A and B are shown apart, each in its own frame.
Chain A
Amino acid sequence: MTDDALHNDDDLVRHLRDHVSTVAAPSRPSLAAIASRGRTHRRRRTASFTGIGVTGVAAGIALAFGLSGAPAGGTAAIQDDAFTLTSNANGTDTLTLPMKQVLDPAIFQRALTQHHIPALVKSGVVCDSRPEPANPVFSGIWTNPRPTPPQPGQLQAGAVVVINPAKIPSGTEMFFGYTSSDRAMFLNVITIDSYTCRSQPPPR
């Protein structure tokens, strides 16, 4: 250390460094996951530079349109390596979560908005409303996901769920809570102006 402030505070500096070095850091993600997420950024940047015909806000999604090609039957599919969202002829939307890369919550949120699915997407938290506004399965908001989730509302890699936006009650929206460490998504229905969020992971 060369500066006076640190010379005069050697103990404090050592204390700070010791503290930080003992912070329990989770293991680092795979390089492939980082690269995959980085590719999404690169594609978005390229799309905005080459004028694929999208605004900056929708660059990533619009590029995904290009990658997925024109869907059969005129339905629109939005896709990247983390999720696919496809409109069905009956007004429902099929969400598939291969989660081959870390999901970008902002892109996912925009995809849901484009499919007219009122939803809140957050990373690292689970949100809910008390009392629960609706039982999402009984009220037909979504069908039971495949494969069977390890706990209610939890989707893991490979999950497929069909969402019916028309069944979402007024004043409510879907909640998607994404955790990159578990590569899992938590689904819920929340009241738009009254919900609470908790840190992950939820009790198992």
Chain B
Amino acid sequence: MSQDNAEFADFFAASWDPCLRAVAASTGNMTLAEDQTAEAFARAWASWTKVAHHPAPTAWVVRTALNAGASWWRRRSKETPLASHDVGAADSQAAGLDTPLLTALRCLPSRQREVIVLRIFLDLDIDTTARHLGIAPGTVRAHLSRAMTALRSELAPATTKETGQ
């Protein structure tokens, strides 16, 4: 195994689970997330000399997977939706993606959701998140702040109910 292949193998072994979970949390559909994440890792393999020097290869994979998913959703939006048998409903429940918190996350604007995924799920620092998204660090902070406020607001009734207040 060449050094590049060995490096990719290590990256793949260490990053599959966090990347898949981040994609699944963002999309709410484990089956599609699995396919999109596999696709993203395949593209990373094909471009490993470039991706290996990316400031955050995991972020590259997650964003590639989510972009692949966006294409899928665009195509699907032309189809007639099904309420009770919709795609991913069953597997999102089974995978634990159906919680109020993750549902609220998926209601955020896409940029805020991306910041949450990169900054919190993948634990990137502000500067790396900003470089990856091509925006200023201050903009990352602003998106993060708005996202946290929105999530807290969405979850407030549930928290109140749980604590009996």
Q: A125 to B144, Cβ gap below 8 A?
A: no
Known interface pairs A6-B144, A31-B12, A34-B12; A124-B87 also in contact (CB < 8 Å): yes
Q: B38 to A102, Cβ gap below 8 A?
A: yes
Q: A23 to B152, Cβ gap below 8 A?
A: no
Q: What's the Cα separation between A179 and B34 when bound, in Å?
A: 10
Q: Provide the residues of chain B in CB contact with A24, threshold 8 Å.
A: 30, 94-96
**Size range of the chain B interface in the assembly:** 35 or more
Q: What are the 5 closest A-B residue pairs judged by CB atoms, nearest first? A: A38-B45, A37-B42, A28-B16, A41-B46, A124-B31
Stretch at the interface among A89-97, A140-148, A194-202: A194-202
Known interface pairs A26-B30, A31-B9, A31-B12; A12-B87 also in contact (CB < 8 Å): no
Q: B45 to A35, Cβ gap below 8 A?
A: yes
**Is the CB of B32 closer than 8 A to any CB of chain A?**
yes
Q: What's the Cα separation between A9 and B155 when bound, in Å?
A: 13
Give me 5 other A-B pairs in contact (C-beta within 8 A), A9-B148, A16-B121, A199-B91 excluded: A4-B145, A24-B94, A26-B20, A26-B34, A200-B31
Q: A41 to B43, Cβ gap below 8 A?
A: yes
Q: Provide the residues of chain A in CB contact with B145, threshold 8 Å.
A: 4-5
Q: Provide the residues of chain B in CB contact with A34, threshold 8 Å.
A: 12, 38, 41-42, 45
Contact of B31 among A38, A42, A199 (CB under 8 A): A199
Count how many chain A residues have C-beta atoms less than 8 Å from C-beta atoms of the other chain.
45
Chain B min CB distance to A11 (Å): 9
Give 20 A-B contacts (CB < 8 Å), ordered by A residue. A6-B148, A9-B152, A17-B120, A20-B25, A21-B21, A23-B25, A25-B95, A29-B38, A33-B38, A34-B45, A35-B42, A37-B42, A38-B43, A41-B47, A123-B72, A125-B31, A125-B87, A198-B87, A199-B86, A199-B87
**Is the CB of A15 closer than 8 A to any CB of chain B?**
yes
Binary interface encoding of chain B residues 31-75 relative to chain A, with 1 for a CB under 8 A from any of its CBs, else 0 = 110110011011111110000000000000000000000001000
Q: A197 to B101, Cβ gap below 8 A?
A: no
Interface residues of B in 61-106 (CB under 8 A from A): 72, 79-80, 82, 85-91, 94-97, 99, 101-102, 105
Of the candidates B17, B34, B47, the one having the most CB atoms from chain A within 10 angstroms of its own CB is B34
Q: What's the Cα separation between A200 and B92 when bound, in Å?
A: 11
Q: Provide the residues of chain B in CB contact with A9, threshold 8 Å.
A: 148, 152
Interface residues of B in 146-162 (CB under 8 A from A): 148, 151-152, 155
User: Which residue of A has the minimal Cβ distance to B5?
Assistant: A35
Q: What's the Cα separation between A19 and B103 when bound, in Å?
A: 11
User: Which residue of B has the minimal Cβ distance to A14?
Assistant: B120
Known interface pairs A15-B101, A199-B91; A3-B144 also in contact (CB < 8 Å): yes
Q: What's the Cα separation between A194 and B70 when bound, in Å?
A: 23
**Is the CB of B133 closer than 8 A to any CB of chain A?**
no
Contact of A199 among B43, B88, B99, B116 (CB under 8 A): B88
Known interface pairs A25-B17, A38-B42; A2-B31 also in contact (CB < 8 Å): no
User: Which residue of A has the minimal Cβ distance to B151?
Assistant: A12
Q: B85 to A198, Cβ gap below 8 A?
A: yes
User: Which residue of B has the minimal Cβ distance to A39?
Assistant: B46
Q: B31 to A102, Cβ gap below 8 A?
A: no
User: Which residue of B has the minimal Cβ distance to A9?
Assistant: B148
Q: What's the Cα separation between A124 and B87 when bound, in Å?
A: 9
Q: Provide the residues of chain B in CB contact with A197, threshold 8 Å.
A: 79, 82, 87
Q: Provide the residues of chain A in CB contact with B7, threshold 8 Å.
A: none
